[in-house]
Structure 1
Amino acid sequence: MRIGILGAGNMAEALGASWARAGHEVMVSGRDPGRTAARAARAGARAGTFREAAGFGEAAVVAVLADAVPAVLGQAREALRGKPVIDVTNDVGPHGVRPVAGEIARLSGGHVVKAFNLCHVDVWRSTPPVFGGRPLAVPYCGDDPDALALTRELAADLGCTPVHGGGLDRAALLEATAAFVIGLWFAGADAQAVLPPLAQSGAHRSAPAPAEST
């Protein structure tokens, strides 16, 4: 699969390198050609502009700072229209959390899936990310069946377990989850320990999971 990553930062390099090792063709992109070329070389990827990466990929990944999203998508919009677009960003700060996935859907015209936003970049450098013998679960939210299937594939290629979290209308909950657990981690708490195992969760086994289009 060809993957165009909008961004040339740590997330772009870490995810891009892992997908390149899994056999995908990857292009990373950024404003600074020299920096972008260096990141691409370390990731085993190609380097290009935002517009080139958007056009190169069968899927595009938005991995820029949230404040840069409008400008970056302004350069890449035409190449993203109708394409699977995976949003890995978070906008978390003193102001709280600002939802980004809906904005990306509106600005790109693509089929947006929110995913890969809960973990520090070093987790995505793991090959694979397995903790206590259990592969990392990657929740994702989106509406388009093809974009969802592609996201599942890319999560599995990282050695992770994809977990469908509902439609794109639930992406804001996933973004808020990132803000909450990041706050716990920075306070020194083990955020993973706040939830019981499934068997002790009290969930009814007959309760339906979030619907996923097929």
Structure 2
Amino acid sequence: MIGLKKLIMVGVIMATTLQAAPIVRFFELTTNPQKRTNYSQVGVENLTTSIKNEKGTLAMYTSRKKDDPNVSYVVEIYENEDAYKIHANSPQFKKFSEMAKTTLIGRKVFETNPQFLAEKPEALYVEKNKDYQVNLAEVTVLPEKNKEFKDIVTDEMKQSMQKEEGVIVMYAVTLKEDPNKWFFFEIYKNNDAYLRHRETPHFKNYIEKTKDMATDKKVMELEGDTLVNKGGLYLEF
């Protein structure tokens, strides 16, 4: 079991209720182009209703590839397994699940271990606001450098959240089946905030110190569809 190194919760869920690492679920979904509009509508209802009504549903995001809007990426965070079961049995999720059976033509699930999860204190509630910059990065790290990489990138993300007003969300997870493969999900207030982030000393320090630690790096700039969370999540593992 992953230990909680540092935990701060602001808002609905208090720190004392989180006894273990939350569940972070990550999906790549491909939609039938002819049914994408209906899929989007039902998906928005699922995410927004869940974040409002389910105490243990902490964050839900769906974003699309800019060059292929039929491919979307979904990130979900639940307080624990019981919280996920409550969501899975909710009317809005059952409606979405039934619709997905005839709408989705591709589905990949990534089982992850959270490494760093941080949000601004204010709850986020965004629907189809193209101003927000959403990034999904994938980094494969040399096994012998994984611990050192984690320390460096965690420090960079902590400084980003503390010092940059335009950095809204920063999550880092690793694959359960491959702990050397990292995924980073980031939300910025807008593209200018992202560009400013790339010019900060802490980001440049991260790039310099880790330049020889990774065997592969990919960054996708996504179009945010529905981006909602309760706000205030801060977990370091």
TM-score bin (small chain): under 0.3
Return the structure number with greater relative CO, CA threshold 8 A, min gap 6: 2
Q: Which structure: greater strand fraction?
A: 2
TM-score (norm 1): 0.26
TM-score (norm 2): 0.24
